[in-house]
């Protein structure tokens, strides 16, 4: 199996182990804060599955049914993941609200916190291993997974510290308050995931620096042409499409103008692997004196 896919599968297994430990921590302690951490771990399981879907979708080539490829499957699963995260936040808030007026200290606090810490440690070690492996530099989906695991490890440390204070100072109200803070953090993360994926589903333009680089590449490789205008670039997940009009002298032969197109396409494809380019060639009276002027 493709190595990043194997790592993603391992991520799912590890997140399930961590979830198991955190659910046990909640069951022995009946703590709202540890319940919130267990639900946060459930989010990790969804997230790890999402990474697998993303890597598989990105690897699947276009076919006759989906001639533009399957890259958007990654964004759709991100929307679903964000929705589940928001739902987890609602569940946590509901529990925190129901205990805040009659808070109680966690039962079996040492065992509960110990199990929770073990679950957190599993995640932290896996995040470290993913970072060391170097794959996160090549696969953004795995990098996002790793960043998420690091954030969770920090949340777990905060929860354990807060609950320890609650137990030592005999302040049970800290328990639902921690749960509410975790719910707020998860809701923010889920909302951001949904909004980013929805924006990407609407075929977003690449960042301005990238657009500038593309303009410069076209200008330097289009010698013989007059201008390039009406350029549009769109990205959705891993797929990229670029189209523009290329104005050439009306007397130029089709073969000559095609050579210019091939030269531009070659340069752009070296810059952006996998980009799909469409160039519409026009005679000089179609010049708009705007866009990219070729010297």
Please give the residue ranges that form the binding site for Zn ion (CB under 5 A).
Answer: 245
* CA distances (Å), origin 265, targets 41, 46, 256: 46, 39, 14
Distance CA 77, CA 53 (A): 7
Rounded to a whole number of angstroms, the minimum distance from the CB of residue 251 to Zn ion is 18
Q: Are 19 and 119 in contact (CB under 8 A)?
A: yes
* CA distances (Å), origin 83, targets 44, 47, 72, 95, 189: 13, 11, 17, 19, 10
Residue (128 or 277) nearer to Zn ion, CB: 277
Name the residue number minimizing CB distance to Zn ion: 245
Residue 175's CB: how many other CB atoms inside 10 A?
Answer: 28
Distance CA 17, CA 125 (A): 13
Rounded to a whole number of angstroms, the minimum distance from the CB of residue 290 to Zn ion is 10
Residue (262 or 271) nearer to Zn ion, CB: 262
Distance CA 191, CA 135 (A): 27
Residue (202 or 254) nearer to Zn ion, CB: 254
H/E stretch holding 226: none
Rounded to a whole number of angstroms, the minimum distance from the CB of residue 253 to Zn ion is 14
Distance CA 255, CA 269 (A): 21
Residue 223, strand partner residues: 225
Rounded to a whole number of angstroms, the minimum distance from the CB of residue 282 to Zn ion is 5
> Residue 279, SS3?
strand
Rounded to a whole number of angstroms, the minimum distance from the CB of residue 231 to Zn ion is 10
Q: Are 193 and 228 in contact (CB under 8 A)?
A: no
Residue (84 or 267) nearer to Zn ion, CB: 267
Residue (196 or 245) nearer to Zn ion, CB: 245
Rounded to a whole number of angstroms, the minimum distance from the CB of residue 240 to Zn ion is 18
Residue (121 or 243) nearer to Zn ion, CB: 243
* CA distances (Å), origin 151, targets 17, 226, 257: 18, 52, 53
Residue (39 or 247) nearer to Zn ion, CB: 247
Rounded to a whole number of angstroms, the minimum distance from the CB of residue 284 to Zn ion is 11
Residue (215 or 245) nearer to Zn ion, CB: 245
Nearest CA among 287, 294, 241, 239 for reference residue 268: 241
Rounded to a whole number of angstroms, the minimum distance from the CB of residue 278 to Zn ion is 10
Distance CA 191, CA 143 (A): 19
């Amino acid at each position: 199996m493709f190595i990043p896919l194997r790592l993603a599968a391992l991520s799912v297994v590890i997140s399930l182990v961590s979830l198991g430990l955190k659910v046990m921590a909640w069951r022995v302690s009946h703590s709202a804060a540890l319940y919130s951490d267990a639900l946060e771990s459930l989010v990790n399981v969804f997230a790890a599955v999402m990474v697998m879907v993303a890597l598989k979708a990105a690897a699947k080539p276009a076919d006759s049914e989906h001639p533009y490829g399957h890259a958007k499957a990654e964004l759709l699963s991100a929307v679903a993941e964000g929705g589940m995260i928001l739902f987890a936040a609602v569940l946590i808030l509901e529990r925190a609200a129901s205990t805040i007026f009659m808070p109680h200290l966690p039962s079996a606090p040492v065992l509960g916190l110990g199990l929770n810490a073990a679950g957190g440690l599993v995640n932290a070690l896996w995040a470290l291993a993913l970072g060391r492996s170097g794959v996160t530099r090549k696969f953004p989906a795995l990098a996002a997974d790793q960043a998420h695991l690091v954030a969770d490890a920090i949340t777990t440390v905060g929860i354990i510290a807060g609950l320890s204070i609650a137990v030592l100072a005999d302040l049970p109200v800290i328990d639902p308050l921690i749960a509410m803070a975790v719910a707020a953090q998860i809701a923010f993360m889920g909302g951001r995931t949904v909004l980013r994926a929805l924006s990407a589903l609407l075929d977003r333009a690449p960042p301005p620096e990238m657009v500038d680089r593309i303009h410069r590449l076209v200008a330097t490789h289009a010698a013989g042409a007059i201008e390039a205008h009406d350029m549009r670039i769109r990205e959705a997940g891993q797929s990229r499409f670029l189209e523009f009009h290329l104005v050439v002298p009306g007397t130029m032969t089709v073969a000559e103008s095609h050579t210019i197109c091939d030269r531009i396409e070659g340069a752009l494809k070296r810059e952006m692997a996998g980009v799909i380019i469409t160039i519409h060639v026009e005679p000089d009276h179609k010049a708009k004196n705007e866009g990219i002027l070729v010297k």
